[in-house]
Structure 1
Amino acid sequence: MTHDVIILGAGAAGLFCAATAAARGRRVVVLDHAEKPGKKILISGGGRCNFTNLHTASDRYLSENPHFARSALSRFTPGDFIALVDAHGIAWHEKTLGQLFCDGSARQIVDMLMDQCAAAGAQVRCNSPIGAVRHADGLFHVSAGESAFAAPSLVIATGGPAIPKIGATGFAYDLARQFGLKVVQPRPALVPLTLPAEAALFRELSGIAAPVEASCGKARFPEAALFTHRGLSGPAILQVSSYWKRGEAVRIDFLPGRTGDWLLDAKRQRPRAGLRSVLGEALPERLATALADQLGLAAEMGNLPDKALRAAQARLHAWDFMPDGSEGFAKAEVTAGGISTAELSQRTMEARKVPGLFAIGEAVDVTGWLGGYNFQWAWASAYAAGMAA
């Protein structure tokens, strides 16, 4: 069975690449071991699919080559995908920080992609576990289930190992290595971080969330943090987790809106109040209590030395946590690392050393921030490959 393009993976990138290539008149088949297409799309955004972000720019992506994503992102923009969504009559809204969600269900995005594939004549074959893949006589030969396929172009769109319960694996990396492509060490990203036993006090705050600014190195994110029974989560923590490396601290500013000597001002205005009640005006009560206890300042504000209050203030703006790990691929939203961008054309996503071989989406060493950036990379990289394969 001969095609022009074989795409491995019926996720966001694979389906969009198939529709794009087939619309150019290419004979396309998509193969996936799962029983249904778009499984990760369906669970994204709480079931409403955060399908893009209005603020997409290459500086919001991590990669060994920080400039790699720029070309594809510039040629297929959030506006381009929004136009497609609008054309299919899918209602959407901006939630916060440029994040766009379906008003209804993520199923609408999967249906749209499948409709695009059908209209262009691309075949999508699920329940097709990939077996041997080889290259001979100018064609890529793929066995899938009991069928065999051949094509001059092969697109790796099988994602990374994040969320194994929906069938995610490291297949893309094995295949890349088979063809001699370098793989940047994959690791969980956008993932909750775990804290060691000595931080047990904060585990008593499980379920408490607060708006903070979390930072790791030069990366800073002013969003909510959530304390869990295992450590730290919430949008701010998921964001910095992509930058965090073992042995590094994650710094939290618990009161990012406060400037100047605000604790000294509170001492003058409310000398009879305790630190706990002052913090409780801006933070959840249980968190305010825990922070005050950790700071060890139990006296009334009027009886506390200015030096002690300045030190407490400084720590509240720069409270270091030392995670001992993360919750791993099981809880990670995406995978950082992957097929090295040094191996690929940034314009077409084609492997420099293996003509006809392409890699797109999460399989590649390009990882976006939380909030629709990774979907936009899926669409943009898929479009780049779909226009070239």
Structure 2
Amino acid sequence: MTPLHGHEPYDAIVLGAGAAGLFCAATAGQRGKRVLLLDHAEQPGKKILISGGGRCNFTNVDTAPDRYLSSNAHFAKSALSRYRPADFIEMVEAYGIAWHEKTLGQLFCDGSARQIVAMLLEECAKGDVELVCGEALGEIGHADGLYRVDFGERSARAKALVIATGGPSIPKMGATGFAYDLARKFGLKVVQPRPALVPLTLPGEEALFRDLSGVSTEVIARAGRAAFREAALFTHRGLSGPSILQISSYWKRGDTVTTQFLPDRGEGWLRDLKRERPRTTLRKVLSEGLPERLADVLCEKLGLTGELGAMTDKALAAAEARLARWPFLPDGSEGFAKAEVTAGGIDTAGLSSKTMEAGKVPGLFAIGEAVDVTGWLGGYNFQWAWASARAAGLAI
């Protein structure tokens, strides 16, 4: 292996030129640190470019620690409190990038996600970060207080090594479990990774709902103690849409997911309608608040036909109860191929919440999606990337 720029070591080598890696390298570089940023992909920020439908949902103004899943619910608090959405927004605006807020605090570029990547690359340039893309990583070791990384036909050494290679979600973008293998090599534990923010699949007995592929409606989806009110989408394989993606991060195999159809209807609404409009049908009532195809299927599943006036209050109360907590028993998810992020990852028990440095391996840092911190849908994972990257970049 040919040493890069002779034998002089870098202050840090950052592995992974995604959101966390770019921002960490820029932060350290602008503090005068000599930083090498490596990525096996041909270009930096590939997942940033496809995020938010190409407009990059770059943060969420409602960011709070309780919007994150981790084996240690308190771990994310320190980094998130020291680098807030307003801090990133300030940088975005300094670059003249126009943005807008969608529902639930989600911020998007008016233009393109390419603006965010260009901004991060300019921030790296300001810090004289050396960026090398398109080179496969080889051996990585540690000796005499220095980390050595082989890549392509070259090698480099540094006092610090930052793992920012993400998780295995969206493998077609080049994502792998590399971060976990490297962490284990240095003695760090890994919380079992699993797909998160991912569509759920339904078994064959739910085939009737597959006929609804493409139909969407607002629901409250629940699994365990978690509940999300957003749209649910029926697919040819099962359930998707924002509410389902959110609940998937909390769902475990064998758990039931319940959906509350017509979430604004109060208790007794069907019995009230029976008295107000006895000649109307349940199908007619449901189709006033739901897509017609969905109303048809729900009526068929409920087994209630005819006029409301001909139905007993007990039958209508039972229909209300089922519509309020309609059970689905998924048989799985669509896996890492369709997962927006990975839950689990490098165990936070081995990391400093203030610096993201490994407690027992000086100079080794882990940030972003590689770590066992997973945010809700809607810009939370980007904010974790910025916050954890900033924490590490300031500590290198």
TM-score tier after normalising by the smaller chain length: over 0.9
Cα RMSD over matched residues? 0.5
CA distance in 1, matches of 2:73, 2:292: 41
Pair 1:98 & 2:113 matched: no
The Cα of 1:147 is off from its aligned counterpart by 1.0
Pair 1:267 & 2:274 matched: yes
1:287 partner SS: helix
Pair 1:214 & 2:236 matched: no
Pair 1:41 & 2:45 matched: no
1:354 partner SS: coil
Partner of 2:357: 350
Tell me the TM-score normalized by structure 2: 0.98
CA distance in 2, matches of 1:158, 1:136: 22
CA distance in 1, matches of 2:84, 2:132: 28
Unaligned 5+ runs, structure 2:
none
Q: Deviations over 1:312-332 (max 9, x none)?
A: 000000001000000000000
Partner of 1:335: 342
Aligned identity (percent) is 71
1:172 partner SS: helix
Partner of 1:370: 377
2:337 partner SS: helix
The Cα of 1:299 is off from its aligned counterpart by 2.1
Q: Deviations over 1:198-246 (max 9, x none)?
A: 0000000000000000010111000000000000000000000000000
Partner of 2:330: 323
Partner of 1:5: 12
Pair 1:297 & 2:304 matched: yes
Aligned partner letter, 2:222: S
Pair 1:187 & 2:194 matched: yes
Listed as ranges, the matches of 1:1-389 within 5 Å are 1=4, 2-389=9-396
Aligned partner letter, 2:100: H
Aligned partner letter, 2:214: G
8 Å contact kept, 2:183–2:346? yes
Unaligned 5+ runs, structure 1:
none
Aligned partner letter, 2:84: T
Q: Number of matched residues?
A: 389
| Deviation beyond 6 Å, 4+ runs, structure 1 | none
The Cα of 1:129 is off from its aligned counterpart by 1.2
Tell me the TM-score normalized by structure 1: 1.00
1:125 partner SS: strand
The Cα of 1:119 is off from its aligned counterpart by 1.1
CA distance in 1, matches of 2:135, 2:359: 28
CA distance in 2, matches of 1:68, 1:215: 25
CA distance in 2, matches of 1:269, 1:284: 23
CA distance in 1, matches of 2:384, 2:342: 13
The Cα of 1:260 is off from its aligned counterpart by 2.3
Aligned partner letter, 1:241: S
Aligned partner letter, 2:394: M
1:248 partner SS: coil
CA distance in 2, matches of 1:183, 1:13: 19
Q: Deviations over 1:335-369 (max 9, x none)?
A: 00000000100000000110000000000000000
CA distance in 2, matches of 1:131, 1:268: 74
CA distance in 1, matches of 2:113, 2:171: 20
1:4 partner SS: strand
Q: Deviations over 1:5-31 (max 9, x none)?
A: 000000000000000000110000100
